[in-house]
Amino acid sequence: MSIFTRSVPFRANTIKALNDPSLRSALRHATETFAQKRSEAKASVPFEAWRDDASAMRSDVLSNLSGYLDLFRARAVRAGATVHLAKDAGSAREIIVSVLKQFSAKRIVKSKSMITEEIHLNSYLHQQGFNVVETDLGEYIIQLAQESPSHIIVPAVHKTRRQVGRLFAEKLGCDYTEDPFVLTKIVRRVLRDEFVSADAGISGANFAVADSGSIVIVTNEGNGRMVTTLPPLHIAVFSIEKIIPSLADLPKLLRTLTRSATGQTLSSYVSVITGSRKPGETTGATELHLVILDNGRSEIVNGEFREILKCVRCGACMNVCPVYRTVGGHAYASTYPGPMGIILTTLLERMERAHTLLDATTLCGACAEVCPVKVPLPRLLRRLRELRVEQDFTTQMERRGMDGFALAAQSPRIFHLGQKVARLSWPLLKKLDGNGALVRMPRPDPVTFTRRMQ
Partner 1 sequence: MRVQLFGTCLVDTFFPETGEATLKLLRHFGVDVVYPHGQTCCGKPADSGGYSGAARKAAEHFISVFEGNDPIVIPSGSCASMVKNHYPELFKNDRRMKEKAEAVAERTYELTQFLVHVLKVHEAGLQGKGSITYHSSCQLTRELGVREEPLLLLESLRGAKFIQLPRADRCCGFGGIFMARLPEVSMALADEKADAIVSTGAETVTGCDHGCLMNIADALNRRGNAVKVKHIAAVFAEGLE
Partner 2 sequence: MTGGETVNIFMDKAAKAGAEPVSVKDIGEMNRLLATILESTEQIYCPGVTEKECAVEIPEDRRTDDYRAASVCIEEVFGAIAETGSLICSSHGGKTVQAGLLPPHHVAIVSADRVYEKLDDFFSSCGDSPPTNITLETGPSRTADIELTLIVGVHGPERLSIIVL
- Would you tell me which residues interact with partner 2 (CB under 8 A)? 26, 29-30, 33-34, 75, 79, 135-138, 141, 154-157, 159-161, 164, 180-181, 183-185, 187-188, 191-192, 195-196, 211-212, 214, 220-223, 225-226, 229-230, 246-248, 250-251, 254-255, 262, 265-278, 280-284
3-state secondary structure of 134: strand
CB nearer partner 1, residue 122 or residue 319: 319
The whole-angstrom separation of Cα 340 and Cα 315 is 9
Q: Is there binding between residue 444 and partner 1 (CB under 8 A)?
A: yes
Partners of residue 233 on adjacent β-strands: 200, 287
Q: Which of 329, 348, 345 is nearest to 337 (CA)?
A: 329
Residue 214 near which of partner 2, partner 1, none (CB within 5-8 Å, type-dependent): partner 2
Residue 211 near which of partner 1, partner 2, none (CB within 5-8 Å, type-dependent): partner 2
| Residues 364-403 within binding reach of partner 1 (CB under 8 A) | 364-366, 368-369, 382, 384-390, 394, 398, 402-403
CB nearer partner 1, residue 156 or residue 331: 331
Q: Euclidean distance between the first and final Cα of the chain, in Å?
A: 44
Total of chain residues touching partner 1, rule CB under 8 A:
58
CB nearer partner 2, residue 34 or residue 332: 34
Residue 14 near which of partner 1, partner 2, none (CB within 5-8 Å, type-dependent): partner 1
- Residue 150 has what DSSP assignment? S
Q: Which of 135, 175, 183 is nearest to 159 (CA)?
A: 183
Closest CB 411 distance from partner 1, rounded Å: 8
3-state secondary structure of 56: helix
The whole-angstrom separation of Cα 369 and Cα 344 is 19
The whole-angstrom separation of Cα 67 and Cα 78 is 17
Residue 288: half-sphere exposure toward Cβ, Cα within 13 Å? 28
- The answer to whether 210 touches 219, Cβ cutoff 8 Å, is no
| Residues 9-28 within binding reach of partner 1 (CB under 8 A) | 10-11, 14-15, 18
CA dihedral (186, 191, 193, 196) in degrees, to 10, reads: -150
Chain residues that interact with partner 1, rule: CB under 8 A: 10-11, 14-15, 18, 322-323, 326-327, 358-366, 368-369, 382, 384-390, 394, 398, 402-403, 405-406, 408-412, 415, 419, 422, 433, 435-437, 440-442, 444-445, 447-450, 452-454
